[in-house]
Amino acid sequence: MAASNLTLRFLTAVVAVPPLLGLLFFGPDWAWLIFLTVAGAVPSALEIFGMAFPGDRRAKLVGVAFTCAVVLSIYAWPSSPRVLVTTLLVLPFASIVFALWRLRDIQASAVQLALTTFGPLWIGTGVGSVALIRVVGGTDGPAYALVSLVLAWLGDTGGYFAGRFFGKHKLFERVSPKKTVEGAIGGMVAVVLGVLGLRAWLLPSMPVRDAVVLAVLGSVLGTLGDLGESLLKRSVGVKDSGGIVPGHGGMLDRIDAVLLTGPLTLLYLVWNR
């Protein structure tokens, strides 16, 4: 069972990664934004609002609208504090109105209200950041966007294999029973090596110290993103956020780490300009 799942994950990566990298390095900025929004933000919003409002199709559509609005505000007006403040102020108000409008079970209303605010901010800022990195990074933008993905991908892959072969000590058993301390360390080592490799290949102007620090922080945040999503799923009683990605579960299961490593990479670029 584990072997067949690993094979499915490998085949999914073989099919999906080449066109994604082709679009990242050779496609226009707007196409990268649309791809991330349609393939990442929309299905993730559908999944998280599906967990908060099971069976409520209108709630899912409104959740998609909220999330896409956050993506757009991050991407289109990155240097406007007024847009950011407006987004942060309006979304909680809109969430309260929305939660009252779609109220069905008063016992679930606190979770619904929280996810209606947190979900779009979490997904929207994560996806918007990965899209914006291409613009902020200039000619190195695609390479830095790849770094933000590698921080998550190699952390997950390295953690999987290290945990499978060496894992003995549970990292946070109540939230994610399969995650181990050894897996987290293995994931961090894989991330550091991967980022240093990308730096040598595509980003020679990036200081080695910066690459190592970014890799370590990215590995930690990627693990936190994965644990956070596991906590969310356990709180609503689901195993996977969805089934859209063969071998990986839902889209949110696949990009939960990217939703934190993307903003981290963007912040690195913004503060080093």
The pLDDT of residue 131 is above 90: yes
Within 13 Å, how many C-alpha atoms sit on residue 67's CB side?
A: 31
pTM: 0.89
Query: pLDDT for 37-75, tens place per residue?
Result: 999 999 999 999 998 888 888 889 999 999 999 999 999
Distance CA 158, CA 169 (A): 16
Task: Map out the domains of the chain as residue ranges.
Answer: 2-271
Contact 23, 49 (CB under 8 A): no
Give pLDDT tens digits for 22-37: 999 999 999 999 999 9
The amino acid occupying position 63 is: G
Give residue 11's pLDDT band: very low, low, confident or very high (50, 70, 90): low
pLDDT at 247: 53
Summary mean pLDDT of the chain: 87
Q: How confident is the model at residue 174 (pLDDT cuts 50, 70, 90)?
A: confident
Q: What is the separation, in whole angstroms, between the first and last Cα of the chain?
A: 48
**Higher-confidence residue: 244 or 188?**
188
Q: Is the pLDDT of residue 225 over 70?
A: yes
pLDDT at residue 82 in the model: 87
The per-residue pLDDT for 7 is 64
Provide the token pair at 21.
């990298």
